[in-house]
Amino acid sequence: MTRTDPAELTAKLVQCASVTPVEGGALTLLQELLTDAGFSCWRVDRNGTPNLYARWGDKAHPQSFGFNGHTDVVPIGEESDWTKAPFGAEIVDGFMYGRGTTDMKSGVAAFAAAAIDFVRDTPPDGAIILAITGDEEGDATDGTTALLDWMDAEKEAMSVCLVGEPTCPDHMGQMMKIGRRGSLSAWFDVEGKQGHSAYPHRALNPLPAMVRLMDRLASHELDQGTSHFDASTLAVVTLDTGNPATNVIPAKTSACVNIRFNDDHTGASLSQWLRDQAATVDVEFGTKTSVKIKISGESFLTPPGPLSDLIAKAVEAETGNTPELSTTGGTSDARFVKSHCPVVEFGLVGKTMHAVDERVEVAQIHQLKSIYTRILADYFA
């Protein structure tokens, strides 16, 4: 029987220039492949964002294993900086080059290939679901969230889910993610009164207030970490006044901070803390500060248990490495899936994701397919 080559599929996906939110033919390719393999497929596009839902087996079956991933990629930057064509999928010295080779078309190709061959070889008593979005690298408002909303309306469900994002820092099998920190960004606009710098008493300089506010935020210890999470962090990422004149006190200045937070906090509790800090500084300086906050995701944890044990066992069997259970890194679509079912992330080495000359070791794509195949076999055993 012909096997599904995950590296060949990765190359075909990379050659689809699916820079978010452009579909680029990637989901169309996957839909055709999965349909031919006996999967029922639906396009779940919303507000122009492309998404694909595929299921093999009965949706009413109480046992279903889900994979989640994305085919959209970040922009390539300056093409002249690349030594290989960004969408060429060229293989050199055992590495495939191209945008999305690591993040995460190889992961999608590996779980699609594993699922296709598994249902052909040993049709399971249960369902296998692939929920693939074209909106993970963008705003993520109409991607996996749209798929989950559609699943809820259609009574589709995953019992558990594996997100195929790159999770290993240096070598295969090194790390899996059982949770993620939350993320929020906050923008501050401090208003004072413009005036001549020689007569500061006639003006209200917003800059000292902003500097005091940023110092209060940046020097505050949010926590010392929890049992599964490192300490939360706050970074001042920009401070802008745009004042070219040295003899003018500006009327307004702006700044932004980003917080990555653990399960000691919620987006709401941190938002209130930020607003309280701004109000305190306003009282001290007589300024007026407006605060705008965007919560990208709450922290979450899938406690170590059957799902993480299942994946760790398969990873160890195929790589010889026992993966560390981690909650490090940025956000992923697992932050949405966690409200639907238990979710864990495991994928390739992510050293070159989003980088110029992004690349993946071809052998690792085949190894990842083997890991995913073993996970399916053990789950449905």
The residue from 23, 72, 117, 137 that is catalytic is 72
What contacts 259, CB < 8 A, 6 or more positions away? 182, 183, 184, 185, 186, 222, 232, 233, 234, 235, 270
The residue from 23, 117, 135, 136 that is catalytic is 136
> For residues 374 and 15, is the Cβ–Cβ distance under 8 A?
no
Task: Name 187's bridge partners.
Answer: 256, 292
d(Cα 294, Cα 334) in Å, to the nearest integer? Answer: 18
Amino acid symbol at 307:
L
Token pair, residue 56, equals 């093999």
Token pair, residue 344, equals 């864990």
Question: Which strands, in side-by-side order, build the sheet including 91-92?
Answer: 91-92, 95-97, 359-361
d(Cα 9, Cα 105) in Å, to the nearest integer? Answer: 9
Neighbours of 200 (CB within 10 A): 11
* 165 is a catalytic site residue: no
d(Cα 291, Cα 188) in Å, to the nearest integer? Answer: 5
d(Cα 274, Cα 77) in Å, to the nearest integer? Answer: 34
* 72 is a catalytic site residue: yes
Catalytic site residues? 72, 136
